[in-house]
Structure 1
Amino acid sequence: MKAKHGIAMAVILAATAHGAWAADWYPSQFGPDDEIGAANLLTPDVVRQAAGLVKTGKTYALGVPVSKDLPAFRHRSFKLYNIQPGEQAGQTLGPNRFTFNDELAVAWTGVGTQLNGIGHIGIDNVYYNGNRAVDFVTVEGVKKLGVEKVPPIVTRGVVLDMTAHYGKAIVPGGTEFKVADIQAVLKRQGVTLRKGDVVLFHTGWLELIGKDNKQFLEVEPGIGMEAARWLADQGIVAFGGDTWASEVYPNPSGEEFPVNQFMLAKRGIYNLELIDSRALVRDKAWEFLFVLGQPRYVGSTQVNVNPVAIR
């Protein structure tokens, strides 16, 4: 009996170590089969309230221009080639001398401004809602949690000007935003968070691109775990800003991107990286209608985007 008990305990411990045993973060509050996480909060009422923010009709492109020169996370790159099929040596097509340009992109989907879906980050090969990598990840894309399943994100966007809070044009890398910092900025800007919001942090970090790409990728300011838990409890749909990971890096704990693990895997909250919030901050447009319809690449867990703010 003791031997059998020991074997049973060993099986339980092994299953737990590999994420096969039920954890306290799944199944999701939206049901065991849910694949869109916090996007479930984007109700018609949320959209209608956000649309009411449009007063002037002014629009803001929140995406950064993407090229081979844009610094990207570790292994990622972007290459674009112009190809003119059948037009070599000055040839044209048809009696009307038709010519055209076509582009071929050889790129990682996580270059530039991007939507990180909830299938992008895991904990020991377990992803949102307890989905195990062995069950849904293939070399040709994921079979669950792909960005093609994410509905249009149309809601209220809120930008928090952390440069004003810290009194610096560029918030120093490694600065961790605490709950008290966020609450202070919200108070100064006269904004209260509500369920369904997209929350973006402006740090001035984009100003380093082309000037100090090394520093840009080695460190960054951002939220830590305390702030992540507080934001998640406010019922936000997505978080992000003008940095490449949307969390303080390196993390003071020594862990690799624990905020992303918590937000995406545990809470189903999306990450929006490299958001160009400079014009919003110049205009003091602290809240606005946020609109995103991402490319629906089947099986991708992240995709480059150009969200739009309207006020």
Structure 2
Amino acid sequence: MRFSIGAAALMLGSLALAQSNWYPGKWGPTDEIGSANYLKPELVQQAAKLVTGGKVYSLGISVNTTTPAFPPRTCSLYIVQPGQTGSAAGLGPTHTTYNDDILNCWTGIGTQIDGLGHIGVGDLYYNGNKWGEFATMGGLKKLGVEKIPPIVTRGVLLDMAAHLNTDVVKEGTAFNQAEIEAVAKKQGVEIRQGDVVIFHTGWLSLIDKDPKRFGSVEPGLGREGARYLVSKGVVAVGADTWGLEVIPFEKDGDKDGGVFGVHQILLPMSGTYILENINTAELAKDKAYEFLFVLGQNKYEGAVQSMINPIAIR
């Protein structure tokens, strides 16, 4: 069956209208930070008590021109020596030389945080903001990543690879409430309000060995699992995969389940942040299931996403 653009737009509009009970959000119609409202000084104090040995984990990956990413995202770096290329004379009597760099890059590549202006339902985004009223080529007028406060709270790692007794969880494997509760129980951890929950699947190990497979399918969070984590009041959900949610996407019975439905549940419908391409290997190796999570993203004003290097400390 073929649809015109107008028919598709009408269908999207009807979907947004049918699901309009998700806005305005629980923090009021002018809120722009969503689940970051859960962050409180007492959560920082409690999470800090998890630091007993002082080991620091970098959860970010390095980015280069071949880093797999959702098409058409790419990244290039240019090193320049402004006004003095090839010259040893430099500046002033000290002959000072310097290199600068230019990053020509999509911000949604590598380890990243998805802001609340990233995904919509039709033309409606978090808190019912209409795309045409806040999204411009010069940047978002609302929901930009610069609005996200520093995220310092308890982090929880759910090692799905260990739970399923495999090094790399098979693509298409969905994590829903039953699976989440089972691995949390096995690890002896409780998911609490204000947490950042991160899945380890081993998928990131494919980024160099099999980049085509890595960037086309993945295991990940299912729709029911997303709603469950939202009900627990988590601040963000992440994984060592490029898109967090299970791909191929879950079906709705015997029907097509839609495209990036988990993203819709988390971002526009609940204001819950998404963390992608999180380097979880060392945490999993150390069985570091609880830790102090620290993130201060780049404050590109009006940006949709930001490349990040979160830190875990325990």
Is the 2:177–2:225 contact (alpha carbons within 8 Å) kept by the matching residues of 1? yes
1:67 aligns with 2:64: yes
User: What's the counterpart of residue 281 of structure 1?
Assistant: 284
User: Percent identity between the aligned chains?
Assistant: 53
Using structure 1 for the length normalisation, give the TM-score.
0.93
Residue 88 of structure 1 deviates from its aligned partner by: 2.2
CA distance in 2, matches of 1:150, 1:86: 37
Give unmatched runs, 5+ long, in structure 1.
1-12
Of 216, 224, 227, which aligns to 2:225? 227
1:26 to 1:211, Cα distance in 2 relative to 1, 3 A: same
Residue 87 of structure 1 deviates from its aligned partner by: 2.4
User: What's the counterpart of residue 140 of structure 1?
Assistant: 138
CA distance in 1, matches of 2:237, 2:227: 12
Matches within 5 A, 1:1-311: 17=14, 19=16, 23-91=20-88, 92-253=90-251, 254=256, 255-311=258-314
The residue matched to 2:21 in structure 1 has which SS? coil
Is the 1:289–1:310 contact (alpha carbons within 8 Å) kept by the matching residues of 2? yes
Aligned-partner residue type, residue 96 of structure 2? F
The residue matched to 1:155 in structure 2 has which SS? strand
CA offsets 1:178-211 (integer angstroms, 9 cap, x no match): 2111111111111001100000000001111121
Structure possessing the higher radius of gyration over alpha carbons = 1
Using structure 2 for the length normalisation, give the TM-score.
0.92
Aligned-partner residue type, residue 232 of structure 2? Q
Is the 1:178–1:227 contact (alpha carbons within 8 Å) kept by the matching residues of 2? yes
Q: What value does the CA root-mean-square deviation take over the aligned residues?
A: 1.6
Residue 252 of structure 1 deviates from its aligned partner by: 2.2
CA distance in 2, matches of 1:107, 1:130: 29
Is the 1:19–1:132 contact (alpha carbons within 8 Å) kept by the matching residues of 2? no
CA distance in 2, matches of 1:105, 1:153: 25
Residue 54 of structure 1 deviates from its aligned partner by: 1.0
Residue 15 of structure 1 deviates from its aligned partner by: 11
1:185 to 1:203, Cα distance in 2 relative to 1, 3 A: same
Is the 2:12–2:121 contact (alpha carbons within 8 Å) kept by the matching residues of 1? no
The residue matched to 1:90 in structure 2 has which SS? coil
Is the 2:13–2:123 contact (alpha carbons within 8 Å) kept by the matching residues of 1? no
Aligned-partner residue type, residue 67 of structure 1? N
CA distance in 1, matches of 2:86, 2:26: 61
Give aligned pairs, total. 299
Is the 1:22–1:130 contact (alpha carbons within 8 Å) kept by the matching residues of 2? no
User: What's the counterpart of residue 3 of structure 1?
Assistant: none
